[in-house]
Structure 1
Amino acid sequence: MTAMAIRPDDLSHAAVQALLSEHLEDMYATSPPESVHALDLDALRAPDIAFYSAWDGDTLLGCGALRDLGDGHLEIKSMRAARDQRGRGTGAAILRHLLDEAVRRGAVRVSLETGVEPYFEPARRLYQRHGFVVCAPFADYVPDPNSVFMTLSLPA
């Protein structure tokens, strides 16, 4: 694992924008358009979203965001490790950071939506290793055969 600094990010850095563009392209290449719930740059700048990027010096390693759904419920959005960082612990480090941040904010639950396709299997395994369990759709989501909804109750 490389030296990693995870910090709040304003989405202005070209490398962050390129990583998120790659993320959207992969989501649309993998899932039917009506089942893609990834957010673009403008949506990630919403006031209810806190976005974080992970860096090793000037090298972007990955990113992730937390959306405040209200009532102590947060949603993980835009979890992404750079292609050359996959399988190296980057995703796990970003996830741990997001969960630590959720606890710091006093959240009681963190949920997420991911895909059912084999492409998403590593992500589902990562979430399961960190205690997430499959759940019903939450917030504004509706049942979707191409989506897996997962949630984690946080310690009080």
Structure 2
Amino acid sequence: MEVRPGGLDTPQVVALLAAHVEDMRRYSPPESVHTLDLDRLRAPDLTFWSAWEGEEVLGCGALRELDPRHGELKSMRTAPEHRGRGVGSLVLEHLVATARSRGYARLSLETGSPDEFAPARRLYARRGFVECGPFGPYAADDFSVFMTFDLSAEVGASPDSP
């Protein structure tokens, strides 16, 4: 498995993101769906990566700069047939490392509150993300869970530190 920059122009990633949007719309009302379309994922404040094994896309994720010290995770998705293989962890670790290299002190995300989002919330919690209030452009919403991770607390810590 390898994480590569980009991929938005490949049919595999386009299909993965279309399935992502479809699921978000299935489990949340329209006003609570915060997914980004392909054009928005190409915006200058976002960097997109995709995880691959050979010619097969396994997952993806993006990092959005909210300000010079605060980043946001966007479009985290693992292809259903590859769940349970560590794809989400691989992409998340890549995004956290990139955020740290950019000098962000904080990394935040918005995910869903319905049960279908529980695996994602567990992944983020295992990595050290904690629930917080709305940030950036978001407002309180019963269908959203907001989480944040203090990158400055990890300075000098090894990836295997508790």
TM-score, normalised to structure 1, is: 0.96
Counterpart CA distance in 1 for 2:142 and 2:114 is 10
Judge conservation of contact 1:6–1:53 (CA < 8 Å) in 2.
yes
Structure 2 residue matching 1:55: 3-state secondary structure: strand
- Structure 2 distance, partners of 1:107, 1:79, is 19
Shift of 1:110: 0.4
1:144 alignment counterpart: 141
* Contact 2:7-2:13 within 8 A present in 1 as well: no
Indicate the RMSD between aligned Cα atoms, in angstroms: 0.8
> Counterpart in 1 of 2:71?
74
Matched, 1:121 2:103: no
Aligned length: 153
Q: 4+ residue stretches of structure 1 with deviation over 2 A?
A: none
| CA contact 2:68–2:103 (8 Å) conserved in 1 | no
User: Is 1:99 aligned to residue 96 of structure 2?
Assistant: yes
- Within 5 Å, which residues of 2 pair with 1:18-33? 18-33=15-30
Whole-angstrom distance in 2 between the partners of 1:7 and 1:98: 12
Offset, 1:106: 1.0
Sequence identity of aligned pairs in percent? Answer: 57
State the distance in 2 between where 1:72 and 1:82 align: 31
Offset at residue 10 of structure 1 (A): 4.7
Per-residue Cα deviation, 1:114-133 (whole angstroms, up to 9, x for no partner): 00000000000000000000
Q: CA deviation at 1:72?
A: 1.0
- Find out whether 1:63 has 2:51 as its counterpart: no
Q: Which residue identity does 1:57 align to in structure 2?
A: G
Instruction: Tell me the CA shift for residue 71 of structure 1.
Output: 3.1
Q: Secondary structure at the match of 2:47?
A: strand
Unaligned runs of 5+ in 2: 156-162
**Contact conserved, 1:77 with 1:112, CA < 8 A, in 2?**
yes
Q: Please give the TM-score of this superposition, normalised by the length of structure 2.
A: 0.92
Partner of 1:154: 151
1:15 maps onto 2:15 in alignment: no
Tell me, yes or no, if structure 1 residue 50 matches structure 2 residue 47: yes
Give 5+ residue unaligned stretches, structure 1. Answer: none
The answer as to whether partners of 1:10 and 1:45 remain within 8 angstroms in 2 is: no
